[in-house]
Amino acid sequence: MGSATMITKNRAFLGRAVRYLAAECGIRGFLDLGAGLPTQGNVHEIALEEAPDSFVTYVDDDAVVAAHGRALLEGDPRVRFLRGDLRRPEEMARAGDVYGNANAPFEARPGARIARFFDGFDLVEPGLVPLNEWRPGDDAPPPRGGFVPVLGGVARRP
């Protein structure tokens, strides 16, 4: 599957997940780790459309991305962009062209390793699945070849 198709599938999953959390679950606080530069169809746009009282924080470890992200999102107190690295939680605590041309490399992980990210959380149905299988809309075309090699899931803290 080409990178453009994967990007499209990833964005569609993101939209479905954020809509579900904001509209159906009443979630109002969103944290997007490894966010990259805000473009179209981002977490804040979707969340604020569904629930204008939402608050979104983006985090990325690239200094240029964080600076541009802050500049792009300036003016809306419901949205902020921080520089931080999930792999360095002490730094995170102090911080108070996607894939091929990304500012961070794409790292393939087996499903069992991805599932560990959800340890201690309750996975929302249908669980950890290929992106196109997570609550697809009626208008979602099937993936070419029938399989999307990227897994995603949504979980809630119990």
Secondary structure (3-state) at 80: strand
Peptide bond into 126 cis (omega under 30): yes
Question: Domain map of the chain by residue range?
Answer: 3-156
Three-state SS for 154?
coil
Contact between 14 and 2 (Cβ < 8 Å): no
Per-residue model confidence (pLDDT) at position 65: 87
pLDDT at 94: 46
Q: What is the pLDDT of residue 152?
A: 83
Q: Distance between CA 9 and CA 111 in Å, rounded? A: 18
CATH superfamily of the 3-156 domain: Vaccinia Virus protein VP39 (3.40.50.150)
pLDDT for position 100: 47
Residue 93: which of 84, 101, 102 has the closest Cα? 84
Please provide the distance, in angstroms rounded to a whole number, between the alpha carbons at the two ends of the chain. Answer: 36
**What local confidence, expressed as pLDDT, does residue 139 receive?**
60
Write down the pLDDT at residue 156.
86
Q: How many Å apart are CA 76 and CA 85, to the nearest integer?
A: 24
Give the helix/strand (H/E) hosting 93: helix 89-94
Give the per-residue pLDDT at 110.
75
Determine the pLDDT at residue 98.
40
At residue 129, the pLDDT reads 86
Q: What is the pLDDT of residue 105?
A: 52
What is the structure's pLDDT at 141? 57
Mean pLDDT in each 10-residue stretch from start to end of the chain (158 residues)? 70 90 91 77 92 91 88 89 71 42 57 86 88 75 57 85
Looking at residue 142, its pLDDT comes to 58
